[in-house]
Amino acid sequence: MGEAIVELKNVNIYQSDNLILQEVNITVEKGEFVYLVGKTGTGKSSLLKTLYGDIILKEGSAFVAGFDLKQMNWKTVPFLRRNLGVVFQDFQLLTDRNVTENLRFVLRATGWKDHKLMDAKIAEVLEKVGLKAKGFKMPFEMSGGEQQRVDIARALLNSPKLILADEPTGNLDPETSDEIMQLLFNICREISTTIIMATHDYIVIKKFPARMLKTEKGRVFDNANIAML
């Protein structure tokens, strides 16, 4: 057995007082790539929000990147999030500043002070995502695929143990989707970052097969069969 980055036992997930997912039991280890699939409204987003501390855990036990979710409050959630990277479908880049300044903003927000260290880290993550020479570009000057690479670079800034990717190929054409998937799998393999990716794109899953979790009828099923979807 490897190191568990996500471990949920007998977890019930609520939105307000509504039970969304019940008896969730999941273990995801260091360096694993896992898809999270399921129809809209079946709890995928609620599960992701629980993992990054946006939904408070009421029942069951859960550890994410070494943090006990039962002990989370508004003071401790930022520490959890510094150990996570989140990749969004719609990039969520700051449109009034260039790529480098987008990344610097995140570093400052997470407590970095040394300018030289910040510059070195920004150069490192941009190289990792294949945008070494694009730091001066404004988001509107970039293609969707390049903006998604910036989003992934941003997620890597604090060397996270876990990246949560929410429909990262949802707004991309098939060729660009393949490039982003290859990049995510490389990150997973080369630096042993665990990735959980929510997706509706079964073409991507067939091209890049990996373990699957499926939300359905208030439950989470492990290694669901694609043919059943």
Please report how the helices 115-128 and 144-156 are oriented relative to each other, as an axis angle in degrees rounded to 10: 130
Q: Which domain holds residue 139?
A: 94-159
Out of 139, 159, 179, a domain closes at: 159
Spatial distance between the Cα atoms of 130 and 143, rounded to a whole number of angstroms: 13
SS3 (DSSP) at 22: strand
The dihedral over CA atoms of 187, 102, 78, 83, expressed in degrees to the nearest 10, equals: 10
Q: What is the pLDDT of residues 64-114, one digit of tens each?
A: 999 999 998 888 888 898 899 999 877 789 999 999 999 999 999 888 999
Task: Tell me which residue has tokens 């997620």.
Answer: 155
Q: 130: which strand partners?
A: none
Of the three residues 116, 136, 159, the one that is the final residue of a domain is 159
* pLDDT of 9 over the 80 cut: yes
Identity of the amino acid at 89: Q
Residue 188 in any domain: the answer is: yes
Residue 226 has pLDDT above 80, yes or no: no
- Using DSSP bridges, classify how beta strands 194-198 and 162-166 pair: parallel, antiparallel or unpaired: parallel
Q: How far apart are CA 14 and CA 50, in angstroms?
A: 9
Q: What pLDDT is attached to residue 129?
A: 94
Pair (34, 144) in one structural domain = no
Tens digit of pLDDT for each residue in 57-72? 989 999 999 999 999 8
Residues paired with residue 11 on neighbouring β-strands, in sequence order: 24
Q: What is the mean pLDDT of residues 32-41?
A: 93
Nearest of 158, 136, 159, 139 to residue 150 by alpha carbon: 139
Tell whether pTM > 0.85: yes
The per-residue pLDDT for range 194-205, each reduced to its tens digit, is: 999 999 888 999
Are both 165 and 210 inside the same structural domain? yes
Considering its fold, how many domains does the chain have in total? Answer: 2
Task: Give a yes or no: residue 177 inside a domain.
Answer: yes
Classify 211 as helix, strand or coil: strand
% of the chain at pLDDT higher than 70: 97
Residue 199 lies inside a defined structural domain of this protein: yes
Q: In what order do the strands lie in the sheet with 59-64?
A: 18-29, 4-15, 59-64, 67-68
- Quick one: 152 and 189 in the same domain? no
CATH number reported for the structural domain that contains residue 199 in this entry:
3.40.50.300
Please count the helices (runs of H) and the strands (runs of E) in the chain: 7, 10
Q: Residue 88 domain-assigned?
A: no
pLDDT value of position 228? 43
pLDDT at 47 over 50: yes
Contact (Cβ atoms closer than 8 angstroms) between residue 27 and residue 181: no
Per-residue pLDDT band at 1 (split at 50, 70, 90): low
